């Protein structure tokens, strides 16, 4: 285990941290902030607790650059499972719909993926950190309250199918800020017509 830095001097710079699975971006930020005893620190965009990957953390004077990183395009690799829908659009949620008797070909999937490239509209998940009246949406969701959410424009620069096996598929996505990958995967399943089966 790493020892705490005892130096009380201000910490300035950017740490590229590989966020582990199971922790929120904010929980990781607070741990790193305590470890470095930093007075000022911020991350440059949230990753879901299930997600792993690069989470830039800015300290001190470097927090002035956070906004530039927040607004930058992002790249993700993700896996989806067709035929199961959850209330959170990920593996942590309660199953709300399950379909077992269907067939999707790779040609059908590729055709649908093409429809999601470019500027598209996406409705954010209730299980997100977006705020409504100052309260994160996920807090409303946990209380069973559904808040109306307007669709937001996002840009999918690249959407490649990197793996497909029966009902499971892997994608690589390059996108604008504010894109929810779990919602993208859910929308792909809906576009394939699985929600109507």
Q: How far is CA 29 from CA 55, 91, 167, in A?
A: 9, 24, 36
The string of DSSP letters for 156-171 reads EEEEEEEEEETTEEEE
Residue pair 28/52 in contact (Cβ under 8 Å)? The answer is no
Q: Which residues contact 191 (CB under 8 A, 6 or more apart)?
A: 112, 115, 116
Residue 122 belongs to what H/E stretch?
strand 118-122
Given the residues 48, 146, 170, 187, the one annotated as active site: 48
Q: Output the CA torsion 15→21→25→30 (10° steps).
A: -70
What phi and psi values does residue 146 have, to the nearest 5 degrees? -100, 120
Is 160 an active-site residue? Answer: no
Q: Give the residue numbers annotated as catalytic, written as ranges.
A: 48
């Amino acid at each position: 285990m790493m020892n705490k830095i005892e130096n009380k001097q201000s910490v300035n710079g950017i740490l590229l941290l590989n966020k582990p699975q199971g922790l929120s971006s904010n929980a990781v930020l607070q741990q790193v902030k305590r470890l470095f005893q930093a007075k000022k620190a911020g991350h440059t965009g949230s990753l879901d607790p299930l997600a792993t990957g690069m989470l830039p953390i800015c300290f001190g004077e470097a927090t002035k650059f956070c906004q530039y990183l927040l607004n930058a395009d992002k790249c993700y690799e993700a896996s989806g499972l067709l035929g199961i829908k959850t209330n959170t659009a990920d593996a942590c949620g309660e199953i709300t719909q399950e379909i077992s008797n269907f067939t999707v070909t790779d040609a059908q999937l590729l055709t649908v993926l093409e429809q999601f490239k470019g500027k598209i509209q996406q409705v954010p998940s209730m299980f997100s950190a977006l705020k409504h009246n100052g309260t994160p949406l996920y807090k409303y969701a946990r209380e069973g309250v559904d808040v109306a959410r307007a669709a937001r424009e996002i840009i999918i620069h690249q959407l490649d199918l990197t793996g497909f096996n029966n009902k499971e598929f892997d994608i690589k996505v390059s996108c604008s800020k504010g894109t929810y990958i779990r919602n993208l995967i859910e929308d792909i399943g809906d576009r394939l017509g699985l929600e109507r089966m």
